[in-house]
Amino acid sequence: MNIVLFGPPGAGKGTQAKKLAGHYKIPHISTGDILRANLREGTELGLAAKEYMDKGELVPDEVLIGIIKNRLAEPDCQVGFLLDGYPRTIPQADALSGILDEISKPLEVVLNIDVPDNELVIRLGGRRMCSCGASYHIKFNPPEMDGICDTCGGTLYQRDDDKDDAIRQRLKVYQEQTQPLIDYYNRMGILVTVDGTGDIDEVFADICDMLDK
Ligand code: AP5
Ligand code: MG
Ligand code: ZN
Query: For 15-27, how does the pLDDT look when each residue is reduced to its tens digit (9 = 90+)?
Result: 999 999 999 999 9
pLDDT tens for 75-109 read 999 999 999 999 999 999 999 999 999 999 999 99
**Residue 213 pLDDT greater than 90, yes or no:** no
CB-CB neighbours of 54 under 10 Å:
16
User: How large is the average pLDDT for residues 175-182?
Assistant: 98
Q: How far is the CA of 189 from the centre of ligand 3 (A)?
A: 39
Return the active site residues: 13, 88, 127, 159, 170
List beta partners, residue 83.
4, 29
Torsion angles phi and psi, residue 181, rounded to 5:
-70, -20
Tell me the CATH number at 9.
3.40.50.300
Q: Best of 50, 58, 89 to mutate for ligand 1, by most ligand atoms within 8 A of CB?
A: 58
**Residue 63 pLDDT greater than 90, yes or no:** yes
> CB burial class (10 A; 0-12, 13-18, 19+) of residue 21?
middle
Q: How far is the CA of 26 from the centre of ligand 1 (A)?
A: 19
**Cβ-proximal residues to 6 (8 Å cutoff; 6+ apart), any chain:** 13, 110, 111, 112, 113, 181, 182, 185, 191
Q: Which atom of ligand 1 is nearest to the CA of 170?
A: 25
Pocket of ligand 1 (CB under 6 A): 7, 9-15, 31-32, 35, 52-53, 56-59, 64, 85-86, 88, 92, 123-124, 126-127, 135-137, 140-141, 161, 170, 199-200, 203
Half-sphere exposure of 137 (CA within 13 A, CB side): 18
Whose C-alpha lies nearest to ligand 1, atom 23?
Answer: 32
Q: Determine what percent of the chain falls in helix, strand and coil, rounding each to the nearest 5.
A: 55, 15, 30
User: How large is the average pLDDT for residues 118-140?
Assistant: 95
Our count of domains for the chain comes to 1
Whose C-alpha lies nearest to ligand 1, atom 2?
Answer: 32
Q: How far is the CA of 32 from the centre of ligand 2 (A)?
A: 6
Q: Which atom of ligand 1 is nearest to the CA of 87?
A: 34
Domain that holds residue 37: 2-212
CB-CB neighbours of 148 under 10 Å:
15
Q: What is d(CA 174, CA 125) in angstroms, rounded to the nearest whole number? A: 17
pTM value is: 0.96
The H or E element that residue 63 is part of is: helix 61-72
pLDDT tens for 35-60 read 999 999 999 999 999 999 999 999 99
Whose C-alpha lies nearest to ligand 1, atom 21?
Answer: 32
Q: Share the mean pLDDT of the chain.
A: 96
Q: What is d(CA 75, CA 116) in angstroms, rounded to the nearest whole number? A: 37
